[in-house]
Amino acid sequence: MSFSASDRLNEGAAVTGGTDGREDFDVTTVDMPQAGRKEWIALAVLALPTLLVSMDLSVLNLALPHLSEDLHANSVEQLWIIDSYGFVVAAFLITMGTLGDRIGRRKVLLIGAAAFGIASTVAAFSTSTPMLITARVLMGVAGATLAPSTLALIVNMFYRNPKQMGAAIGVWVSAFMGGLALGPVVGGVMLQFFWWGSVFLLSVPIMVVLLIAGPLLLPEFSNPEAKRLDPLSVLLSLAGLMPIIYGIKELAQNGWSLVPALAIVIGVVLGAVFVVRQRTLEDPLMDLRLFGHRQVSAALVINIFGAVVGGGTIFVVNVWLQAVEGLSPLKAGLLMMPSGAAMVITAMSAPAIARKIRPAYVIAAGLTVAAIGYLVLTQVGSDGGLALVITGVTITSAGSGPQAALTTNLILAASPQERSGAAASLSETCGQLGIALGAGVMGAIATAVYGANLADPLPAGTPQSAHESVIGALTAAKDLPSDSANALLRTAHDAFTSSLTAVCVISTVVLLGLAAIAAIMLRHVGVTSNAPAEAEASDAGEPSVQPAG
């Protein structure tokens, strides 16, 4: 079964003249099949694991100072605790998305939900840093089943009505953003009254609900023409991606060295072998024709670099709120709620706006607004600036909402229905890899700037951990005399505020570049944006993304 622009026309979408001489889809001029109550209730069920995954990311940022102190995690281990989950999710998303296309998306989703709940329980009761990192890796494998399965099932339920599909994807994105906003509040309450491991147990009741409601409400879908999963392709995808991730992380954290550089080279070579194999397979693990489509490739670039900026900056901001401002996790979470609400509102509104204004310009305008928010954050000082932080983060979040909603919609709209799991996994691979790299790369930059700006000499008796991170300085200050502790904290606060400024300057430049890419590379997409890309791409001489079948 294929899912093309012409199919949507056959379902009842009208064609109207576009402003640039091309034909745009007007999904409001005729009646099209409407999703029923069951589909919308099922969408609410699919929002649960989405909410959970994002909540888990934001909760862990708040819990990091507590678990680091309890498990004696150094700065490198802290980054691995944050990063390991996202890296593994990114590495397995393509495999899990394609597996769902083959054996059933609901089946893969429910298996992953059960495994995620078990791994979360192990993480909650970890007694050492290696045990926690291992549990996070297992959570990543299970979590890789969630996003592509939920997005692909949304396509199955709403593909006959592009307007409703855009709205449903907006709900999905809003659930993700809502989890980011809700996680700090719920996590703050948990950390206020319980130990740090309790934040991982938040996933268990959500997964239980999904396991009960999923079989009753969610449709099953698989591609009956799909061949068996190619084990060599799976191995090559993992063997190519993981060395590159390791190498980038180590170079960003520790500077140039031979081993991580060789790891990147090995990963690139294995990635090239993977690409060659995909071109020779009748039913590949990854449909490389998607990359030849301008709409998809531009949206993927915006996705990954937008996630690097967003994931990295929110990590640094959360540390700043607790380590420099001295806020409790609960207060930090409550203060971040306006930013989450702003992102949810703009993400929900973006699909409707994109039916009146071309998505390219909606995305570009949003990214420009987000860049302004980062400029506001560069004005924060260590002696006060809480209002500036909340204002800047809220502006940034509001600007990021349209990008998150519309790029996902553009990628799925350009993909055939039977390959929507693979397309969703490709989109989520970029997003999750970006978030993980953001925490690693931006965290490494923050650490480097912190060390470079740390006053020397530090008070006598200051341990080495204070040189590594602001969290290490906070822990060290507890064992120093009052005067020495105050001097160390003043120095550490100033140094980490410089880190925040550096990260936000980089983020501003990146987002302005992404805004330009969106305005230029996506300008051909019509205002209805849910379907026209394929028709317009064909007019422009771009490759079709329709696979055989």
Q: Which tens digits make up the pLDDT trace of 334-387?
A: 787 888 788 888 888 888 888 888 888 999 999 999 999 999 999 887 676 888
User: What is the assigned CATH class of domain 5-230+281-533?
Assistant: mainly alpha
Bond into 481 cis (ω within 30): no
Give CA–CA dist 276/284, Å, rounded: 11
User: By CB neighbour count within 10 A (0-12 exposed, 13-18 middle, 19+ buried), where does 451 fall?
Assistant: middle
Model pLDDT for residues 516-547, shown as the tens digit of each residue: 999 998 887 766 544 433 434 433 444 433 33
Give the bridge partners for 17, in sequence order. Answer: 23
C-alpha separations of 137 from 49, 83, 140 in Å: 17, 9, 5
Give CA–CA dist 339/325, Å, rounded: 18
Confidence at residue 75, expressed as pLDDT on a 0 to 100 scale? 65
Give CA–CA dist 356/217, Å, rounded: 33
248-257, 451-460, 485-494: range with highest mean pLDDT = 485-494
Give CA–CA dist 417/546, Å, rounded: 10
pLDDT averaged over every residue in the chain: 76
Give CA–CA dist 350/456, Å, rounded: 49
What's this model's pTM, rounded to 2 decimal places? 0.69
pLDDT confidence tier of residue 513, bands split at 50, 70 and 90: very high
SS3 358: coil
pLDDT confidence tier of residue 20, bands split at 50, 70 and 90: very low
Tokens encoding 293: 């489509």
End-to-end C-alpha distance for the chain, whole angstroms: 6
Confidence at residue 370, expressed as pLDDT on a 0 to 100 scale? 94
Model pLDDT for residues 62-102, shown as the tens digit of each residue: 677 777 777 877 766 777 787 777 777 777 877 787 777 77
Q: Please say whether the beta carbons of 316 and 501 come within 8 A.
A: no
Q: What is the rounded (10 degree) CA torsion for 248, 252, 253, 256?
A: 90
Q: Please say whether the beta carbons of 538 and 372 come within 8 A.
A: no
Please compute the mean of the pLDDT values over residues 247-268 and round it to a whole number. 79
pLDDT confidence tier of residue 14, bands split at 50, 70 and 90: very low
Secondary structure of 225-268 in the HEC alphabet? CCCCCCHHHHHHHHHHHHHHHHHHHHHHHHCCCHHHHHHHHHHH
Residue type, 234: V
